[in-house]
Amino acid sequence: MAIRDVLLTLTSYPEPTPVSVIDRAVSLGSTFGAHIAAISCEAHVQVPGSFLGGAGNLGTIVASEAHRSRKNAQDLLAAFEAAAQKSSVLHEIVLERCLTSEVPDLLVEYARLHDLTIVPVPESYDQWYAEAIIFGAGRPTLVVPEAPSSKAVDLNRVLVAWDSSRAAARAVSDAIPILEKAREVRILTVTNEKAISSRRSSPELAKNLSRHGIDVIVEEVDSAGRVIGDVLAAQIESRRADLLVMGAFGHSRFREFILGGATRSILTKPPIPVLFSH
């Protein structure tokens, strides 16, 4: 299925998404020739009523934070609209209003109604919004790092992290419209990191993708005692990859949270855009 309907999430609180990220996201979305909807929320901090009437000016502070969030959201959506118009991209803006605790669930609801959701991920605070969307949307999520980048937006070189798992298979299927546009696709299997059900699956996956007109390079790399996140990061750098495709939360989510894993390692500080599927 082609990617025709993209959602871009823009955070207004506690810190706004950098405006510089919007141009990258619009460029990525326009690569698909898709309609892009940008959503941002006027977030309200939830404070028990008993505290609002207490000493100090807590009520005033809460109102001030909501105003700041609303201003951030409006500015971000205005910047998105300007960028989308400049790129001649079909688009719309969505401004919602909810409690801070309700933002992740709200974004998941919207993500379920779009082919792909682009989520900018900050370095300075928790990636909970991205995790909620990846885990709850049932649709692919394209995580984009907020860190400034001098590299032009490009999807020519795509690296597919392949371990024969259900999550990896789902990610490859979701990424086919992107892989069809790429100039170079590499299927990478990391060995001696965990048990892999079949060593035949990478060549068979290559056959499957060739029937979509996608030529791929099949590779294996030994983990050599390194955690898989470090292995993938090194491969991204050495291959000058523009995009990583990988399954998310291959283990139980609780185990992933306690023990780490490729999903959390890459999500904590994505070096390039990453397409996750769960």
Same fold for the domain at 5-145 and the one at 157-276? yes
Q: End-to-end CA distance of the chain: give it in Å, rounded.
A: 17
Could you tell me the residue ranges of all domains in the chain?
A: 5-145, 157-276
Q: In degrees rounded to 5, what are phi and psi of residue 277?
A: -135, 145
Within 18-57, where are the H helices? 19-31, 49-52
Q: What is the pLDDT of residues 76-89, one digit of tens each?
A: 999 999 999 999 99
| Of the options 1.20.970.10, 3.40.50.620, 3.40.50.300, 3.30.110.70, the CATH number for the domain spanning 5-145 | 3.40.50.620
Instruction: Return the CATH fold of 157-276.
Output: Rossmann fold (3.40.50)
115 CA to centre of own chain:
13
Other Cβ atoms less than 10 A from the Cβ of 200: the count is: 9
Q: What is the pLDDT of residues 190-245, one digit of tens each?
A: 988 776 766 678 999 999 999 999 999 999 999 998 888 889 999 999 999 999 99
Q: Enter the pTM of the model.
A: 0.89
